[in-house]
Amino acid sequence: MTAYFNGLVLTEAGARPGVAELRLPEVGPGQVRVRVRAAGVCHSDLSMVNGTIRPSYPLVLGHEAAGEVVEVGANVTRAAVGDHVVLNWQPACRSCWFCEQGEPWLCSTSSGVASLENGVTLDGVPVHVALGLGAFAEQVVAPENAVIRVPSSLPFELAALLSCGVLTGAGAVRNTAQVRPGESAVVIGLGGVGLSVVAAARAAGASQVIAVDVTEAKKGLAEAAGATDFVVSSDTLSKDIRGRTSGRGADHAFECVGRAATIRAAWRATRRGGKVTVVGMGSNDDQVSLSALDIFSSARTLRSSVYGSADFDLEIPRLADDVLSGRLSLNHLITDRITLPDVPEAFDNMSRGEGARSVVTL
**Using alpha carbons only, what angle is made at residue 264 by residues 261 and 268, rounded to the nearest 5 degrees?**
140
Residue from 9, 10, 42, 59 binding Zn ion (CB under 5 A): 42
Stretch that binds Zn ion, among 84-92, 193-201, 262-270, 285-293 (CB under 5 A): 84-92
> Among candidates 146, 128, 120, 6, which has minimal Cα distance to 67?
146
When binding is defined by CB under 5 A, the residue of 32, 46, 99, 154 that contacts Zn ion is 99
State which of positions 55-74 bind Zn ion (CB under 5 A): 64
CB of 272 to Zn ion, least distance (A): 34
DSSP character string of 133-155 = T--SBSEEEEEGGGEEE--TTS-
117-176 positions binding Zn ion, by CB under 5 A = 164
How many secondary structure helices (H) and strands (E) does the chain include? 11, 18
Identity of the residue, 41 or 263, whose beta carbon is nearer to Zn ion in the bound complex:
41
- Residue 32 or 42: the one with the smaller Cβ distance to Zn ion is 42
Q: How far is the CB of 176 from Zn ion (least distance, A)?
A: 17
Q: Quick check: 53 binds Zn ion (CB under 5 A)?
A: no
Provide the terminal-to-terminal Cα distance of the chain, rounded to the nearest Å: 21
Q: Rounded to 5 degrees, what are φ and ψ at 95? A: -135, -5
Contact 51, 39 (CB under 8 A): no
359 binds Zn ion (CB under 5 A): no
**Residue with Cβ nearer Zn ion (164 or 340):** 164
Taking the complex as a whole, the smallest distance from the CB of residue 295 to Zn ion amounts, in Å, to 31
Among 44, 208, 245, 277, binds Zn ion (CB under 5 A): 44
Is 93 a residue that touches Zn ion (CB under 5 A)? Answer: yes
Query: Greatest CA span in the chain, whole angstroms?
Result: 65
Which one of residues 3, 53, 96, 116 is an interface residue with Zn ion (CB under 5 A)?
96
Sign of the torsion angle spanned by Cα atoms 330, 331, 335, 341? positive
Q: Minimum distance from CB of 96 to Zn ion (Å)?
A: 3
User: Which part of the chain contacts Zn ion (CB under 5 A), choosing from 95-103, 132-140, 146-154, 249-257?
Assistant: 95-103
Please choose, out of 37-45, 50-58, 213-221, 266-274, the segment that lies near Zn ion by the rule CB under 5 A.
Answer: 37-45
Residue 5: exposure state from Cβ atoms within 10 A (0-12, 13-18, ≥19): middle
CA torsion, points 315, 321, 326, 328, in degrees to nearest 10?
Answer: 10
CA angle 189, 157, 39 (to 5 degrees): 75
Figure out which of the listed residues 107, 120, 195, 320 binds Zn ion, where binding follows CB under 5 A.
107
CA–CA gap between residue 306 and residue 172 (Å, rounded) = 8
Min dist. Cβ of residue 277 to Zn ion (A):
17
Please report, as ranges, the residues that interact with Zn ion according to CB under 5 A.
42, 44, 64, 92-93, 96, 99, 107, 164
